[in-house]
Structure 1
């Protein structure tokens, strides 16, 4: 494996609501990649969308008055590979992947189409359903005035979230009809489309999927988050403040269900054409029914994040995980 002479540009930050999550991921990843012997150049994207050559903890001090948004070609000079450690829109959605492809550089993770499909949950629903993966029923809303038709036949409680957002940003659990319109407005503040789904009473179970340098697809065991009986859900604050439900790794899941969860995770991964890595989230109901929730093509990557913990439980340490992802990207080459 190339290390001493491999220069990796780690992209982090981003002009979206998951900026801080990306910064946390990059802080650990940069240290681990340097520990493996790679030359690492952190490239931060500030909240205004301006790109900077900046160490992770220096990005907040960078002033960018009048600087243009978007890629600065000089930042690619001497770079062998890009690790787009970005979450959410303008990072995980295919936009940055396209920019890297135009630069002719290899990069970690899924390509343009798979990244865009996974970020667009309505499209994930269509593609995964067509491939035979069972999904939660989903209605798409583009304005509050369309709600009566959109939710007809759906029983309360309902789950409302933006179509293209992660980390439960802009998501709401609605138990009364009067709260539905405000929840949709909240979701539409983050995207042009909102999704309305039945609030499935189930355990949230995730499977990690990654590709090896040889192209084999590997899965981890399950994690589990139990939805509280009072109707709470695992929202942004719960995920990143340390409060709220804990993620069980390994998750207490019926052993007989694990092979099916792993099979469906691979089928969803392949259906959207993903590569590199993904965390595939499911709902598992009490009767054993499994429903796909979503596919995250660049999940949080701090050393203690959900996906690395799944991999560690499967025997792949955090440094080895990052090394595997880099090797896979080198193997794929420019796309």
Structure 2
């Protein structure tokens, strides 16, 4: 890991710009996005930039610095130097807002339309990574009639799991969800139907994955203005033991969850994680930033759980925490992301 280049990039302050921070959205991660966007907006202001706060309501309505309506939002976006789509989940990380910004000709932070769309879709992500030889958790995907039938008859999904050689426990999750909303750990066939129904409330595709036993380790990936890619120190999650897994409560509502960074990993494992994270980033065509989440079995190769093209970004979130362990402030990381977006456009 080489963090000196990231530090050097962070020290190069960009000229004063107008930065539009987009937050909120229609997904179940609306509140998480508001927290991420609020933190980024404050950091951008501390760097000397003029900040426009654009909030998308749960109903899809736009508010620009307190002024409601799409016209005000369009005018602000056309006037800004760079936009930060600080949004999570549907409508934010799925390529929708990225496509909108590209139609307007607005420069923005983070991955483009295709990489965003693929990366949010866990089924598509796994398919791409598997073709590149990157280990992923075994699983099946339910959609259409198969999803409807499995939600009422758990034996159907149970048979598919058996045919795929996937034992219990399994995790049932929305294929394009985030923050563990709609995710259930299932230990027997009787629990499949309600778990599938819950996930189906949030997505038209439902993923059922084999539980991976091992350490949960995340890595932060950042692209620098010169196009090089760097990876921060590993973070290990010790989830609240009172929760069944690292669910939304353990992530956002529990003081018992611990994040250990740098994670205690030997040099060989650290390099495998780093190189795999870069490979994942490049294979999916990502830009700007990403957080790659791994399961690390005691006696096996690291397995990619998922990739977030715009991970949680409050000062307490995992992504800034990992860079903080290298001495970078929250504002430093925001500065690098803005500089990279501007350089990419140029």
CA drift of 1:132 comes to 1.4
Where does residue 33 of structure 1 map in the other structure?
A: 44
Contact map agreement 2:123 2:141 (CA 8 A) in 1: yes
Where does residue 274 of structure 1 map in the other structure?
A: 286
CA drift of 1:229 comes to 7.7
Contact map agreement 2:168 2:211 (CA 8 A) in 1: yes
Contact map agreement 1:265 1:280 (CA 8 A) in 2: yes
Alignment length (residue pairs): 323
Contact map agreement 1:257 1:288 (CA 8 A) in 2: no
Partner Cα distance (1:157, 1:47) in 2: 34
2:108 counterpart of 1:107 = yes
Structure 2: stretches of 5+ with no match in the other structure: 1-12
Where does residue 345 of structure 2 map in the other structure?
A: 333
Partner Cα distance (1:253, 1:186) in 2: 36
Structure 2 counterparts to residues 176-195 of structure 1, below 5 A: 176-195=188-207
Structure 2 counterparts to residues 55-70 of structure 1, below 5 A: none
Partner Cα distance (1:229, 1:80) in 2: 45
Contact map agreement 1:138 1:195 (CA 8 A) in 2: yes
More helix, by proportion: 2
Structure 1: stretches of 5+ with no match in the other structure: 56-61
RMSD, matched Cα: 2.0
TM-score w.r.t. the length of structure 1 is: 0.91
Contact map agreement 2:240 2:256 (CA 8 A) in 1: no
Contact map agreement 2:222 2:229 (CA 8 A) in 1: yes
Of residues 39-48 and 307-316 in structure 1, the stretch that sits farther from structure 2 once superposed is 307-316
Structure 2 counterparts to residues 62-141 of structure 1, below 5 A: 72-141=73-142
CA drift of 1:231 comes to 8.1
CA drift of 1:244 comes to 4.4
CA drift of 1:113 comes to 0.6
Where does residue 237 of structure 2 map in the other structure?
A: 225
Contact map agreement 1:22 1:300 (CA 8 A) in 2: yes
Contact map agreement 1:140 1:150 (CA 8 A) in 2: no
